[in-house]
Structure 1
C-alpha cells in the first residue's frame, strides 16, 4: 500500500517572509503618501504590535492621530491590498520549499490572518507556486493554535499529520498548536511567550529548518 504523504506546515509572517520588514516599508510609503513624515512611520510601527493589533483598531487610532478623512473600513480595505506589495521572500526559502516537495513532503501554509491579504502575499512572493495548500484562518474559520486548522491543512494538502512538522515564530500559536496536532515543531526566531511550550528545534532563520526536516 502506498504511504500517505507526510506534511510540513509553515507559518507565513515572520517565518517564511519578513512581515515586520514589509510593514515598515509599507508604513514609510503610506506615511509619505499622507504627508506624515518619519514620525508617522515610527508611530505606525510602534502601534502595529507586530501585526497582532486588529487592523480596525490600528486604523481607528491612526485616523484620530493624523486626522484622516477616509473611514476605518476604507483604510483597512486599502491596507489589505497595499501591504502585500511590500512583502518579499528570499530565493533560498523558495528553493528549500521546492526541495521538500521534491523529497515527497506536502507543504501547507497555516496562517492566522485575513484572506485577501494573506493570499496576495503568497502570490506576490511566489510562495503560492511551491506549496500544496494555503490554510488561512479567516477563510476556514479556525485559528491557530486550534488543532482543527492543522487537520484542515493536512486534508487540503492531501497528507497526514502523522510524523509531520510545524514551523513558525510564535510559541503560543505555532508551537503549541503544532504540538496539539501531534506534529514535531521548529521555532523560528526568539519570540518568548510565558507558559508556552518549547519547540523541538529553534533557529534564527527558516532556511536552517529545511535540512532538519529532510533528515527526518
Structure 2
C-alpha cells in the first residue's frame, strides 16, 4: 500500500511554502505505524513536515486530544501556542482538533457537513486549497504559527 500512495505536487509545493513562511507542520494519523510512516516518507511528505504522530506508534487515536498534544510536541510546540488542524473526517479531525483548542479546516471533497456537528472554522474542497488559505492567513498563536494537518 505505501508504494501506491502519491501526494499531489501542488500539495507538496504548498507545504514547502508554508514551512518557508514560518509555519510548523505536523501530521496526525490514525493507522498502523509501519504503514502510515512509509506512506508519509514515500509520498514526499516526510521532507515537508516537522513531526509526525501515528496512532499505531503511540497507542492513542484521533479524536483523543493527547495525540494532538504529542504531535505539537514533536513539532517543537505546545497546543497552547495555537494552530490549525486540516482534515477530512468530521469527528476524528475536526472535532478532535476543536477539542484540542485548534482552529480547523474541513476538506469536504464535495460532501455535506454532518447535521448536528459543530462546524469547522473553514471549509475547502481539497488539501491544496486549505494550505493556500493558511498561506494568506494572518492569525498567529501566542508562540508563533502552528499547523497540524491530517494524513
Corresponding residue of 2:47: 129
**Is the CA contact 2:61–2:67 (under 8 Å) kept in the aligned structure 1?**
yes
**Structure 1 position 183 matched with structure 2 position 91:** no
After superposing on structure 2, the runs of 4+ consecutive aligned residues of structure 1 that deviate more than 3 Å are 191-195
Q: State how far apart, in whole Å, the 1-side matches of 2:61 and 2:115 are.
A: 20
Residues 191 and 118 of structure 1, relative CA distance in 2, 3 Å threshold: farther
Deviation at 1:194, TM superposition (A): 4.9
Residues 187 and 177 of structure 1, relative CA distance in 2, 3 Å threshold: same
Corresponding residue of 2:131: 210
**Is the CA contact 1:171–1:191 (under 8 Å) kept in the aligned structure 2?**
no
In structure 2, the gaps of 5 or more residues are 139-151
Normalised by the length of structure 1, the TM-score is: 0.59
Note the alpha carbon deviations across 1:25-54, whole angstroms, 9 max, x for none.
xxxxxxxxxxxxxxxxxxxxxxxxxxxxxx
Deviation at 1:141, TM superposition (A): 1.0
Corresponding residue of 1:170: 89
Structure 2 residue corresponding to 1:201, chosen from 115, 122, 127: 122
Corresponding residue of 1:108: 26
**Is the CA contact 1:172–1:193 (under 8 Å) kept in the aligned structure 2?**
no
Counterparts of residues 1-216 of structure 1 (less than 5 Å): 83-161=1-79, 162-189=81-108, 190=111, 192-214=113-135, 215-216=137-138
- The alignment yields a C-alpha RMSD, in angstroms, of 1.3
Q: Which has the higher helix share?
A: 1
Residues 117 and 181 of structure 1, relative CA distance in 2, 3 Å threshold: same
Q: Relative contact order (alpha carbons < 8 A, sep ≥ 6): 1 or 2 greater?
A: 2
Q: How many residues align?
A: 134
Normalised by the length of structure 2, the TM-score is: 0.83
Structure with max Cα Rg: 1
